[in-house]
Amino acid sequence: MQRTTVVGVADYAYTSDSVTLDCCIDDEFTATDWKYRENANEGAGGRTVPVTLEFYNPSTFRFEFRANPEVGATETLNDLNEAAIRDDIELDVTETNGELRVETSALRVVIGLEEWSFAVTEPDGTILFEEQREDIDVHGDLRVEPLGFSEVVDDAGPDKVATTGTALDLAPDEGVYGLGEKFVEFNKRGREITSWTVEPYGTETENSYKNVPFHLSTRGYGLLVDTTNKVEYDLGKTTTASATINVHDDTFAFVFFCDPSFKEILQEYTVMSGRVDMPPKWSFGVWMSRLGYESREHLEEITAELRDREIPCDVVHLDPFWMRDFRSCDLEWDTNQFPDPEGMIEKLREEGFHLSLWEHPYVPVGSTAFEEGREGGYFVTDGTGSPYVMDNLCQGDYRGAIVDFTHPDAVEWWKDKHRRLVEMGVDVFKTDYGEGIPADAAFANGLTGKPMHNFYPFLYNEAVYEAIADVNGRDEALVWGRSAWIGNQRFPMYWGGDAQTSFSGMASALRGGLSLSLSGFPFWSHDIGGFRGTPSEEVYVRWSQFGLLSSHARCHGTTPREPWAFGEEAVRIFKKFARLRYRLLSYLYSYAAAARETGLPVVRPLVLEYQNDPSVSDVDLQYLLGEELLVAPVFDESGRVDIYLPDGDDWADYWTGERYDGGQTLRREVPLDQMPLFVRAESVLPLHESSQTVEEGTPDEVTLRVTPAARGDTQTSFDFYDEDCDEFVDVGCSILEGEIDISIDSGERTQIFQVKIVDVERVPDAVRTNGANCEHVDGAPGEGKWSYDAEAETVHVNPR
């Protein structure tokens, strides 16, 4: 492949919010002859190529380089809302000593004119982002390829652009995070990563179902590569001094977000790419599934057992067997195996269960649905106008065609099939697959599978999500998707695919999820126990503990995943953690409501909350559930686990109350029925009674568990989501010089709360609620009263 590189700038122009550069190129560029020439284009036919910078606000801009400018600007398929992040801006553009400086109040872009260079700095000159042109070997040759394009020759014919891209300088201590659901190390530095959606047949490689070409750097920026084509990253693997990004397209574009805080970047990125809708509350309950329940009788045996054993559960799922043999996916019931589906669904509802159905976007040859789709032109074609029929496409390894979601009539046809099922009472669809789009396929919008391959999961999940919303409303809409791309977070939610039934599979599920959390997805789940085969009792139990403290919780696999399949001890432990999950539902739901407004994830890697603690940069086997709870799953049959408690906060063991300083590693050997769980000191944790199913509405009684600071005064609060009022209630606690002040900014809603303050070493001098003194009593406090348990060192307050 031949590489052509930008070497200088022939001319430029600018407006109040953009800069256009007319760039010189040289197809014989090397480090040893890197110098500006008056006519740098002699070897490239004298042509120039454009680079544009468009600023959306003082800290965010879009960079675009076009190798074939004659064809016009490339229209991105990504549905990005630039208007949502635009703000007034006036660029300060100056030229000095062969450099162009483009400055805002938040950053400075420095561009070499005579000798091309590109850097983004803070206003004081501290480098945030810099193109790499100094990573050379002993011969003076560049190890990486800076801004430019590569061409290939087809059949000894003319050259054509194959890729565009650039190289970036990597700081010695720079960490790189995100890039979608990647099952490898959480910190991607040192890895090669490809953003190309595939069926990875496991979760042990960097191949994944959910690719998002967006990453965060510890240098203080986020970068979204704005394309739907394949993106290839080398993040310090070939050379530790450099990273490269190459796009399989003739346009290389990215959006640059500048901020030292990962949280701030994620919030702006999700404003642009789309904020999540609030999932229905019942979705936060336990889901029970396997591949699969093959009949109505089988399903009802499972639901009866769940209720008999008092195992909390809200959703049951049917995999492909709900449809007839060789008819996956025509979305028609097999009424022999599932007679009277309407009656079955009604019975499930009466027992407190919601129903999920499996699907994929492929329609089997020989079905009535295939004939309808062929006649209507609803399928992706092979370029001749015929449906692109493939072997082993559909579940069951038979032939099928692919629904074309760029064809408006095809979308409506597919939605109609779903709307009928939703009207029957189906609540959610497991939108499986979506990764198998051939690069040479032809779509109704005139594009091939090359740019559509990665984008297809967005259109697929959008169609199904909207079909549910059409019937049930957006508040009740939900998919359980496997494949995803930029913006798919708008249609919650997604699970991690086919993990191995092993501790390695469990670890990869967590790594993939944490990576997705830093890619704009607030909710994710995984198959408790792993997918293929039968996990050991230890793997199942440990995975249950982790899974039941994820944003969403589903048991699933090719063999039974109901806890009684693993013995009575497994049932006992499963119930213990399921009940804990249901006690925490108001906590989880508060963070879900916050995600709707902030885009921040419910399950958080430690680096998101403790970015200034260098010890958390590579921690990917523990996580934060919200901000208040630290979870450390056990990944070893022996029960051994190392737990790092982040610096900057103190921590209390959730189970025992024992206190620990932050910034240390604990080494534990944990019995099978336990999992390390810690509460951040100086925090408020809302809890309520467990139940067999998720109860709609704000609970009648919520206990606010306050963990004071280990030393000194306490000032803490929590934004509690009051579902009935659809608003946040600021609940706070101040402990100052032996006096406790509780604030509950909820007007007449104060009566739903009780307060439990732990680790209070002596009787308080006074307790007040919203400024009013509470009366001290012995025993259980009545309304407006408080008591002190000296043995437990706990204050109980009834602020009603």
Look up 432 and say whether it is catalytic. yes
Q: How far apart are CA 733 and CA 712, in angstroms?
A: 14
> What are the backbone angles phi and psi of residue 601, rounded to the nearest 5°?
-75, 155
> What are the backbone angles phi and psi of residue 762, rounded to the nearest 5°?
-145, 165
Q: How far apart are CA 68 and CA 48, in angstroms?
A: 10
Residue of 26, 64, 498, 722 with catalytic role: 498
3-state secondary structure of 131: strand
Give the 3-state secondary structure percentages of the chain, helix then strand then coil, rounded to 5: 20, 35, 45
Residue of 249, 432, 695, 759 with catalytic role: 432
Residue 54 carries which side chain, given as an amino acid letter? Answer: E
Give the tokens for residue 426: 């189906």
- The contacts found for 634-640 with CB under 8 angstroms, 24 or more apart, are 634/542, 634/545, 634/670, 634/675, 634/676, 635/503, 635/506, 635/507, 635/542, 636/503, 637/503, 637/536, 637/538, 638/669, 639/668, 639/669, 639/670, 639/671, 639/672, 640/667, 640/668, 640/669, 640/670
Give 298's contacts (C-beta < 8 A, 6+ positions apart): none
First CA to last CA distance, the chain = 74
Among 591, 596, 597, 544, which Cα is nearest to 572's?
Answer: 544
Give 260's contacts (C-beta < 8 A, 6+ positions apart): 220
Please tell me the number of Cα atoms within 13 Å of 355 on its side-chain side: 25
Residue of 130, 169, 334, 435 with catalytic role: 435
Give 209's contacts (C-beta < 8 A, 6+ positions apart): 181, 197, 198, 199, 200, 435, 457, 482, 483, 484, 497
In degrees, to the nearest 5, what angle opens at C-alpha 363 toward C-alphas 361 and 365? 160
Q: Beta-carbon neighbour count of residue 438 at 10 Å?
A: 16
Give 50's contacts (C-beta < 8 A, 6+ positions apart): 20, 21, 22, 23, 64, 65, 66, 69
Q: How far apart are CA 526 and CA 509, in angstroms?
A: 6
Q: How far apart are CA 254 and CA 78, in angstroms?
A: 12
Rounded to whole angstroms, what are the CA distances from 782 to 652, 699, 703, 795?
A: 29, 19, 14, 13
Q: How far apart are CA 186 and CA 177, in angstroms?
A: 7
Q: How far apart are CA 730 and CA 585, in angstroms?
A: 17
Q: How far apart are CA 78 and CA 228, in angstroms?
A: 7
DSSP line for 336-347 = TTS-SHHHHHHH
Give the tokens for residue 57: 């606000």
Q: How far apart are CA 206 and CA 733, in angstroms?
A: 45
Residues belonging to the active site: 432, 435, 498
